[in-house]
Structure 1
Amino acid sequence: MFLSKSFHNMIDADARAHQLYVQNAGWTAFPTYISFERINLNYQFFPHFHPYVAVNRAAVPMMKLSLLERLKEGGLPELEDSDTLYMPQPNPPPGQPKQALVVIPNSTRASLSASIAALRPSDNSTLALTAGTPLTLADNTLVTVPKGTLVYHADGSTSNLAADTSLTLPGQIPFAYSSGIQITGTGIIVPDFTAVTLPNGASSAVLTADGSQLNLPNGTVISLRSGLPLPFFYEGIFDNTHYNPSLWVQQPYPVKNLDFSSSGAYSIYNWELFFHFPLLVAVHLSQNQKFQDAQKWFHYIFDPTDNSLGPTPERFWKVQPFQYTDVRMIQDILVNLSKPQDPQLYAETINSIASWQSNPFQPWAVAKFRPTAYRLKTVMAYLDNLIAWGDSLFQQYTIETINEATQIYIMAANILGPKPQAVPNKGAVKALTYGDLRGKLDGFGNSLVEMEVDMPFDMTPTSGTGTGPNGSQILPSIGQTLYFCIPRNDQFLAYWDKVADRLFKIHNSLNLQGVFQRLPLYDPPIDPALLVRAAAAGLDVSAIVSGLNQPLPLVRFQLLISKATEICQEVISLGSNLLSAIEKQDNESISLLRAQHENKLLQLAEMIKYSQWQDAQKSTQALQLSLATAIQRYSYYQKLLGRTDAQIQASIPQLDALDTGSLQNLNFSQLDSGSEPQMSLDPISPDISLKSTSVSDGEFKTLSNHEVGELKKLGLAHDFQETANGINVLGSVLALIPQFKTHVQPMGCGATIDFGGHHLSFNSEALASAARAVADQFSYEAGNAAKLGSYSRRELDWTFQGNTAKAEINQIIKQIRGAQIREAIANQEYTNHQAQTGNAQQIIDFLEGNPVEGVSQVKETTVGFYAWMKREVKALYANAFQLAFEVAKKSERALQNEIGDSSLAYIRYNYLDGNEGLLAGEKLFFDIKTMEMAYHDLNQREYELTKHVSLLQIDPIALIQLRATGSCAFTVPEEAFDLDCPGHYFRRIKSVALTIPCVAGPYTSVNCTLSLQNSAIRTNTDLPGNKYYRQGPDDKRFNDYYGTLQSIVTSSAQSDSGLFETNLRDERYLPFEYAGAVNSQWQITLPSDVQQFDFDTITDVVLHIRYTAREGGDVLKAAAVGNLNRLIKNAQTVGSVRLFSVRHEFPSQWSKFKSVAIGGAILTTELQLSFFPELYPFWSRGRIVGSNQLKAVEFFAEMPPKDTTASINMNDKADKTGNTYILARNPLLGNLLVGSLPSKGKALPAAITDSTHPPLTLYFDNNVMEDLWLAITWGI
């Protein structure tokens, strides 16, 4: 705000106008030297409250407005959905589409399309604004959309405006697939960044950089963008009605809303609630293999599966600042840093760099200025979860899990989209030194430099370009670029490669390690009883099922069980540490709680101590009042005794202050009785008569002389009174005497004498009066003595009262001293209590690990420390237990594999139930030991046998394929083993060695890869339906093994097991160990690209299979023999196919066959072969006779290397008039010429050639082949 009258104005105008005092003139003006400046003060307000934790904004039907209510009523999903609710219908009724969103007042965004001059009304200054300056337009601003502008409609269609269209801002935000401004009342959507015109200008535009208001001229062209949607939790509180802010208040104004700004007081809590918390839980769940639950938590932030209406990608983001926040490219940010175009972006970038420099290892400090980093983090974490989820399914390697993993990988690929391609350089920059760049470096250490094209053949130099120092013409620059490029984000780009790698492996039948592996048609069956036990234990059945088909461990049971025992003992030790941490945490908590309670009690008792101190003070004051009363009484009696005030004041003692120092030193100096002043008592001398006087009835009292005199006088007075009374009585008696008269009247005048009782009575009264007068005198004297006696006693009493007051003063002084001591004690107790309270608080601070004044060391073992220790030990305990459990499960899997019983189960799933999972290690240890003893009890010795399997005998065609192509696959059937030991079952491989008889040069290795693709084990001796052979893939007597593809590579191929040393006690399983021996499918591969020896010299391939077996009994043996006879009869057993090399086994016939020169009249050459019993297996003696016809005859002709003969004809007759049989090229057999005789008819010869059964005779029209193999199939 502008100060029209500043403080300095007031000083100069008023205070300093009369500063100089001049004699006879008074105060006059004095020149001052204080200057002042007129300044503008701008204000920015921020709300420092969280409006919607527990308070509703307004009553909206069917809507909970406070976060607490939403959490209470709708749970976590409704709470997490709170920040992305927008008006007018956050939750429309079912079946009703969502409406266009209302825009936040005065939030329409725009940027200038050209440079203009704008007026700032706050200071009437003119601002030169460049193109691209971001602005915010007020509501009711009128804009014109020009004719021909491409607009969208709610249904996704497009059209061009037929005429200029006026649009009054703010419009609406369409809830459709297109983003932009929807014209209110229509379905027309003006896309973002459309160039429009302000026909009337804009008087309330806001400069986004500093929030100041601007006036834009008429006809200003801007690039228009929609405003921000009005959140449901939004309420304006700074409008004209409530506040009416001036132009000096910067915008945006504070509002009630869920704040996510970097400067918001409560934004950190909203970030924690709506972003960091779900992300933390999701990442934690993903790291703990809870991928589906993790995805659920990720969807609170980012949900790429959202198929609802709405613009993309806004509808995928579930956090408010991620939905409508511009994505700033790093290239644009750095260019703007070197050449500022957007002041707001420049300020944010500077703040971000400063925060990064202050906190180099805290990426969150930088991300709060650039939320795009949060979005990248979320997407990357989401992709990590998908890829880890897919990998966990892929490594199970079943048809179901691979299909599921494929869908997950495809989802990740859809999120990633096409892989970014490297953008070619547009030109080159000149190499510069640090000195050249030093003056141009921006805040990030980069610089904009001129760029020239690499091939400037089309760049015509402009006039005035000039030449360089060497005379060469200077090429014009095509623009500016950053000198230091932006590095590639290899971690982010690796996602495309990783997803592509997984999909490639799936599409090419490779496992996760990239090795080819054939999938079984069905997964192994699941034991329902196991699932029932798992469900009864409250476990995740899906987790149990996913753990059933895990690959076999690489090492043996003995090693695994020892490691499981060791790790379990560590788990037990960690369990003890966990219990100790819990106990210590509880003890520390109790100590802290006790200290807190003591501190609370001390705080509660502080009032009591303070009151006791005040009570002591009041007691002292009361004694002082008592002392004052005693002194007043003492002064009163002293004044009665005739002393002056000065005398009285001088006699009153003064109590000195309490010596608290000696009390603190425990050597009280005022301990003796004379330490306090005392008043001496006045002497009292009563006038006591030495004579004891009887008062009455012989009672004697001690009386003073005055009292004795009084009593005596009173006695005399009493006596005289009694005498007077007696005389009165006598007088009354005498009055009874008659009156006697004597008249003497001489001369008529005379005298009459009257005497009698009246006169006697009168005399008596006279005498009584005299006696009474004496009595009165004695009474007076007695009264006088009594007065003197009372005065004497009064004086004595006053003296006594004065002495009593003195004594009371002395006593009160002592009491005051005691009260002072008690007050000092109470004060010290209060002070000590305060110190004790402070010490108790210090104890609490120390127990809480806070710094304590005067204590150099901070307590480390706090409740928080033990809580951390408990958490860490518990995590370590859980991880160690999980490791022990996994090793124990591997041990159990190894036990099942080595014993051959998959039903053996010793490891349970409920070890961690209750009480922090304590004793889980002990329980697991007991089960491990139980399993170990079970292994020793069940590990019985089985038959140990060796089988030499000749490829020439079991599959001659595969041998031919190997010689021709360097690779073949074959199966070792069960009857091959039944030929040796019929009646055995549960045949499992112990080790395999390979021999390849061939001709190889010196120091030439015969490197052959032998792979076991699958096999089977006959697990019991049952004969369902009295049938020995396998009844399809679901035969429960056989257990198919589809484990990880196992392979060995030979070096010498002479009983080569692919190992340096075949040690049967190797801690690791030997190759193929415990795999099924019967019906085992093998793959042999020789390096055929560059052959080190001639494959044609391979005469056979021999597998030396060491295996174990169990005795099946006579019944199984009889069934095996019967099955052999059946297979021999049907020509389906081992040895039923015999391969002959005509060149080697029939040399005479071969020589004769090759010696004929075909041509001219000679059309064919004859090949005649005779079959004798010695050509067949020994066990066929007596079983095969000449009458037995061959079942099949196949020919394989090897032509010279450069021969291109496509086919060879075989005939029954030399002139080709008989039946013709064609030998044609077969690519699967290395382009050998392959043919056969028909299995029906008379073409097949007898199995034994004799006099009645002719040999096999055929005529060939070509004999240039280098060798000819003949495979015959025979039976009974």
Structure 2
Amino acid sequence: QGTAVTFAGIAAGIDGIKQVLSFGLWGDGPEKVATAASYLSSLLQTKASYERRKQEWELQRNLSNQDILIGNQQQHIAQDQVNIVDQERSIATLRSDQAETIAQFLSTKFTNAELYDWMSEVLEGVYSFFLQQATATAQLAAQQLAFERQEPIPSIILSDYWEAPKDNFTSSNLSENAPDRRGLTGSARLLQDIYQLDQFALQTDRRKLQMTKTISLASLSPVEFQRFRETGEMPFYTLGGMFDRDFPGHYLRLIKRVRVSVIALAPVVDGIKGTLWSNGISRTVQSNGGYYFNTTEIRRMPESIALTGALNATGIFDFEAADQSKLLPFESMGVENAWEFHLPKSSNLSLDYNSIADVLITFDYTALHSEIYKQQVIEQSDKVFTADRVFSFRNDFPDQWYDLHHPELVEEAMQMTVHFDLLRADFPPNLSNVKVKHITLYLPQDDYPGMAISLNRNGNSYPANNRMTPNGIVSSRQTDNWPERWQNMLNIAPEGQWTLSFPNNETVKQWFKEERFKDILILITYEGAVSG
């Protein structure tokens, strides 16, 4: 309103100037004109200042309106921030409640921290047990490898893989707060060492010598073999000397396979039913550094095989023998062993035990050779070879056996007396100076009646009385039943004519006819010098 008045006054002043100029006021002189112009200029300046002030006020008004809008917007923002803080507080409250709920759940559920600690202790013990078992097995494998290779094995397999290895990051004196890393890398380190052991086994692998030796039980133990015909059971032993004479420089003789052949009139359909048994304790010679050799004992569980075939029976099927995942029966045992062969009569009703001529045990075995050990064996071996040679009247002297059972077909003066010849060809040809070391006379029977027996050699008579033949055995090894006069037959050559006489009476003749004597065995233990 004040501005409108001002503008109205300015307008009135301008109108007055116009009137002065129009009505001849110019005559008053230039002063009046200047006064009027000055007045007009003042009015115009005043008007311009009023306009600028108006503009400033309008600007201030607009700015104030903008400040009002900004203030209102800032108020909205502050309210939003308050709402955000409220939401964050609500979220924090929810998280706190959730954490409390989870903590309560973990502390009360079945699989809680206490159960985890308990299970960790139990599983730690289980893992430690199996790791120790695997370590022990690996150590046994290393020892077995050293035994089979006969070479020292580097210390590849450690004694313990449970404790963590020491390094730059692990102090040797662990504090109580140090992390427990026992067993964490045990299996991996053991696997690495087993791989190194396997590489060593491949590098040192070499083919061993492979041999086969057949042992005749009838020649090994003739008297016991005759008892085997009666009882169906025969224990026997295989000694290292039996193999040393074949190959003096061989050591580490280990069985690969055992075969059994029964030389008899075995039934074609039924075959035989026998068992070969070993007590599992065997021996072999091993090397200590290549210069010293000693006998070591191999202990295993007792093993046995059941035999149903009479020839080359192994107790396993052919396709089982090709399976390399399991050892064959008696495999890796030493050749020095104690054995028992059973052929029970109750299981072999169709087998004539008197027809059993022999039982052959064949050993397929491996060995290593050493020239040093060969020289040691040769130096320690006896230059005199001793063995047994059995003569069976039933098999070797069938004519004399027949005469004893049919004395009526012989002259009366020669009844119950038989002559038989022992030749040099009956003994090994490569022995020199063969002499009789011992003599054993055996009459196998169920119930020995007892009688006087006369044994003649080259016309010299050496009788024996009843006391000297208990259980049907007369042996120079048993001094209590060996006639003193029979000592003259020892330490002389075995070849020559021998005469065996029984009492020539009806009682003895009847005993022979009743087959009370199943055979007459003369066992000659001889010795001779080894040539070469």
* TM-score of the two chains, using structure 2 as the length reference: 0.66
Query: Deviations along 1:1179-1207, whole A, 9 cap, x unmatched?
Result: 33xx145xx3x1111122133x6xx4432
Please point out which of 503, 522, 528 is paired with 1:1270.
522
Tell me which residue corresponds to 1:1236.
Answer: 475
Does structure 1 retain, via aligned residues, the 8 Å contact 2:451–2:465? no
- Find the aligned partners of 2:105 and 2:288 in 1 and give their Cα distance: 72
Distance 1:1248 1:1196, change over 3 A: closer
Tell me which residue corresponds to 2:60.
Answer: none
Tell me which residue corresponds to 1:953.
Answer: 219
Tell me which residue corresponds to 1:899.
Answer: 149
Residue 1055 (str. 1) matches residue 336 (str. 2): no
User: Shift of the alpha carbon at 1:1085?
Assistant: 1.3
Tell me which residue corresponds to 1:1095.
Answer: 353
Helix, strand or coil at the partner of 2:383? helix
Helix, strand or coil at the partner of 2:310? coil
**Which one has a larger percent strand, Structure 1 or Structure 2?**
2
- Find the aligned partners of 1:955 and 1:966 in 2 and give their Cα distance: 14
User: Shift of the alpha carbon at 1:838?
Assistant: 5.4
Query: Deviations along 1:727-777, whole A, 9 cap, x unmatched?
Result: xxxxxxxxxxxxxxxxxxxxxxxxxxxxxxxxxxxxxxxxxxxxxxxxxxx
Tell me which residue corresponds to 1:1207.
Answer: 450
Query: Deviations along 1:68-87, whole A, 9 cap, x unmatched?
Result: xxxxxxxxxxxxxxxxxxxx
Query: Deviations along 1:184-222, whole A, 9 cap, x unmatched?
Result: xxxxxxxxxxxxxxxxxxxxxxxxxxxxxxxxxxxxxxx
Does structure 2 retain, via aligned residues, the 8 Å contact 1:1017–1:1040? yes
Tell me which residue corresponds to 1:973.
Answer: 239
- Find the aligned partners of 1:1195 and 1:1218 in 2 and give their Cα distance: 12
Distance 1:1217 1:1080, change over 3 A: closer
Query: Deviations along 1:911-956, whole A, 9 cap, x unmatched?
Result: 1114131111121111111111121122221111111111223222
User: Shift of the alpha carbon at 1:1168?
Assistant: 2.7
Distance 1:1071 1:1056, change over 3 A: same
Q: Which amino acid aligns with 2:488?
A: K
- Find the aligned partners of 1:1076 and 1:1009 in 2 and give their Cα distance: 19
Please point out which of 255, 263, 270 is paired with 1:997.
263
- Find the aligned partners of 1:1155 and 1:972 in 2 and give their Cα distance: 41
Tell me which residue corresponds to 1:1146.
Answer: 397
Please point out which of 501, 504, 526 is paired with 1:1259.
501
Residue 1017 (str. 1) matches residue 273 (str. 2): no
User: Shift of the alpha carbon at 1:1055?
Assistant: 0.9
User: Shift of the alpha carbon at 1:843?
Assistant: 1.8
Listed as ranges, the matches of 1:282-681 within 5 Å are none
Query: Deviations along 1:1106-1153, whole A, 9 cap, x unmatched?
Result: 11111121x53344345554351xx2xxxx101111121112222333
Helix, strand or coil at the partner of 2:329? coil
Q: Which amino acid aligns with 2:149?
A: I
Q: Which amino acid aligns with 2:312?
A: S
User: Shift of the alpha carbon at 1:958?
Assistant: 2.9
- Find the aligned partners of 1:1208 and 1:904 in 2 and give their Cα distance: 70
Helix, strand or coil at the partner of 1:947? strand
Tell me which residue corresponds to 1:843.
Answer: 99
Distance 1:859 1:1210, change over 3 A: closer
Please point out which of 433, 443, 446 is paired with 1:1197.
443
Query: Deviations along 1:358-401, whole A, 9 cap, x unmatched?
Result: xxxxxxxxxxxxxxxxxxxxxxxxxxxxxxxxxxxxxxxxxxxx
Q: State percent identity of aligned pairs.
A: 21
Q: Which amino acid aligns with 1:885?
A: T
Residue 942 (str. 1) matches residue 208 (str. 2): yes
Please point out which of 456, 465, 470 is paired with 1:1220.
465
Distance 1:1217 1:1096, change over 3 A: closer
Please point out which of 1056, 1072, 1076 is paired with 2:330.
1072
- Find the aligned partners of 1:888 and 1:868 in 2 and give their Cα distance: 30
Query: Deviations along 1:1071-1094, whole A, 9 cap, x unmatched?
Result: 1111111x3221111223343312
User: Shift of the alpha carbon at 1:896?
Assistant: 4.4
Helix, strand or coil at the partner of 2:145? helix
User: Shift of the alpha carbon at 1:850?
Assistant: 5.0
- Find the aligned partners of 1:1235 and 1:902 in 2 and give their Cα distance: 53
C-alpha RMSD over aligned residues: 4.0
Tell me which residue corresponds to 2:340.
Answer: 1083
Helix, strand or coil at the partner of 2:395? helix
Does structure 2 retain, via aligned residues, the 8 Å contact 1:950–1:1100? yes
Query: Deviations along 1:114-143, whole A, 9 cap, x unmatched?
Result: xxxxxxxxxxxxxxxxxxxxxxxxxxxxxx
Helix, strand or coil at the partner of 1:1019? strand
- Find the aligned partners of 1:888 and 1:1119 in 2 and give their Cα distance: 35
User: Shift of the alpha carbon at 1:1157?
Assistant: 6.0
Listed as ranges, the matches of 1:251-270 within 5 Å are none
Does structure 1 retain, via aligned residues, the 8 Å contact 2:273–2:347? no
Tell me which residue corresponds to 2:373.
Answer: 1116
- Find the aligned partners of 1:1148 and 1:1066 in 2 and give their Cα distance: 53
- Find the aligned partners of 2:213 and 2:379 in 1 and give their Cα distance: 21
- Find the aligned partners of 2:429 and 2:254 in 1 and give their Cα distance: 27
Does structure 2 retain, via aligned residues, the 8 Å contact 1:985–1:1021? no
Distance 1:1127 1:1073, change over 3 A: farther
Query: Deviations along 1:564-614, whole A, 9 cap, x unmatched?
Result: xxxxxxxxxxxxxxxxxxxxxxxxxxxxxxxxxxxxxxxxxxxxxxxxxxx
Distance 1:1022 1:1171, change over 3 A: farther
Distance 1:1211 1:873, change over 3 A: closer
Query: Deviations along 1:840-864, whole A, 9 cap, x unmatched?
Result: 242243256459xxxxxx9999756
| Uncovered stretches (5+) of structure 1, i.e. residues with no partner | 1-817, 852-857, 1025-1034, 1227-1232
Distance 1:978 1:1218, change over 3 A: closer
Q: Which amino acid aligns with 1:1091?
A: N
Helix, strand or coil at the partner of 1:1208? coil
Does structure 2 retain, via aligned residues, the 8 Å contact 1:994–1:1053? yes
Distance 1:891 1:1022, change over 3 A: closer
User: Shift of the alpha carbon at 1:889?
Assistant: 4.2
- Find the aligned partners of 1:917 and 1:1021 in 2 and give their Cα distance: 36
Tell me which residue corresponds to 1:1046.
Answer: 303
Q: Which amino acid aligns with 2:265?
A: V
Distance 1:1068 1:984, change over 3 A: same
Does structure 2 retain, via aligned residues, the 8 Å contact 1:1064–1:1070? no
Does structure 2 retain, via aligned residues, the 8 Å contact 1:1207–1:1223? no
Aligned pair count? 411
User: Shift of the alpha carbon at 1:1015?
Assistant: 2.1
Helix, strand or coil at the partner of 1:939? coil
| Uncovered stretches (5+) of structure 2, i.e. residues with no partner | 1-74, 165-180, 477-481
Q: Which amino acid aligns with 2:465?
A: T
Tell me which residue corresponds to 2:22.
Answer: none
Distance 1:900 1:950, change over 3 A: farther
Tell me which residue corresponds to 1:911.
Answer: 161
Helix, strand or coil at the partner of 2:523? strand
Q: Which amino acid aligns with 2:211?
A: L
Helix, strand or coil at the partner of 1:1075? coil
* TM-score of the two chains, using structure 1 as the length reference: 0.29
- Find the aligned partners of 1:1022 and 1:916 in 2 and give their Cα distance: 38
Helix, strand or coil at the partner of 1:1049? strand
Tell me which residue corresponds to 1:1248.
Answer: 494
Please point out which of 1155, 1167, 1176 is paired with 2:406.
1155
Listed as ranges, the matches of 1:678-757 within 5 Å are none
- Identify the range of structure 1 (1064-1073 vs 965-974) with the bigger mean alpha-carbon deviation: 1064-1073
Listed as ranges, the matches of 1:862-877 within 5 Å are 867=117, 870=120, 874=124, 877=127
- Find the aligned partners of 1:987 and 1:1016 in 2 and give their Cα distance: 9
- Find the aligned partners of 1:1021 and 1:861 in 2 and give their Cα distance: 58
Q: Which amino acid aligns with 1:1087?
A: P
